[in-house]
A = this chain, B = another copy of it.
């Protein structure tokens, strides 16, 4: 059994912990958190040993009556792999600690790509992470784009990708974020960071991305254009995408028009927290105009990287190859909707 520690038990960390626990070949050694908030309480409730991430906040846990198993360093020492799901920028600060205990670490997409051995998307470059000490699982949007690019590139070749990312302003629980009643170019300059970030997975891909923020919290939406090197018909492309285990091509008769219905569907099928780990591609939107492919896809920013983190654990420990890992992860989570 792979012994996994999770440092940072927020939006991503708590989901990764649950997903790791669900795997047949992994166990959660413990999780680390800076504050004794509702998520800390829930970690204990679920039986995850809770470690304090910051020495001088141990008092806060004591005062709140939230029991600690120790300090984060102990968690790192006991883990075969640590998943760092701390807020952006903190992961890089933690890298030295992981190196000190010789524990391979996975970071999230908010971290810089510069200090890690490789960036990671299971479908696209799994083996690049074999044996690596510092691996960055790319962000939700980059994961969503990479999953789409990989099969199109293999099957048809890609001349250029042009994508507008209509991003949710904040997650449902992020009450301080905006905009309210506005549509904000963000960033207003080009390219948005997404294009260069996809290049950490596909270095030679020609991709331009534009980002916007809107008053929505449920999912991101991508308006995707891919100029292919050949011109298959739309049905062929659809078949190709339907064959990908982490792309959910929404059937017309589901009558799902946006992120609200997608999330409701996810809740109805019993997904934990209503999570949607797959890219959600509107089948009707898949269109070819000459060699230009167009489609819309929705990306659940809180959860699509979760199975990728699980796979990255196997990649760095050489515990399985891409195909085997993806299959194991998917089956354990119950993917395929």
A interface residues with partner B (beta carbon < 8 Å): 162, 164, 166, 168, 179, 181-186, 188-191, 208, 210, 212, 214-221, 223, 225, 257-260, 282, 284-285, 287, 289, 292, 294, 296, 298
This chain: copies in complex: 2
Can you list the 8 inter-chain pairs with the closest CB atoms, starting with the nearest?
Answer: A184-B258, A190-B287, A164-B223, A183-B221, A182-B258, A185-B296, A214-B214, A164-B164
B182→A259 contact, CB < 8 A: yes
B282→A188 contact, CB < 8 A: yes
- Chain B: which residue is nearest A263 at the CB level? B182
State how many angstroms separate the Cβ of A223 from the closest Cβ of chain B: 4
- Chain B: which residue is nearest A165 at the CB level? B223
Are A162 and B217 CB-contacts (below 8 A) given A184-B257, A185-B258, A257-B185?
Answer: no
A259→B183 contact, CB < 8 A: yes
A225→B162 contact, CB < 8 A: yes
Contacts of A294 in B (CB 8 A): 190, 208, 210
A162 to B183, CA, bound (A): 19
What would 13 more interface pairs be, CB under 8 Å, given A166-B214, A212-B296?
A162-B225, A181-B216, A182-B258, A183-B220, A185-B258, A186-B257, A189-B285, A189-B287, A208-B289, A208-B292, A210-B223, A212-B221, A223-B223
B190→A285 contact, CB < 8 A: yes
State how many angstroms separate the Cβ of A89 from the closest Cβ of chain B: 23
Are A182 and B223 CB-contacts (below 8 A) given A257-B188, A285-B190, A289-B208?
Answer: no
Contacts of A215 in B (CB 8 A): 181, 214-216
A188 to B210, CA, bound (A): 20
State how many angstroms separate the Cβ of A288 from the closest Cβ of chain B: 9
A282→B181 contact, CB < 8 A: no
Instruction: Report which of B182, B189, B214, B285 forms a contact with A183, defined as CB distance below 8 A.
Output: B214
A240 to B217, CA, bound (A): 38
Contacts of A188 in B (CB 8 A): 257, 282, 284-285, 296
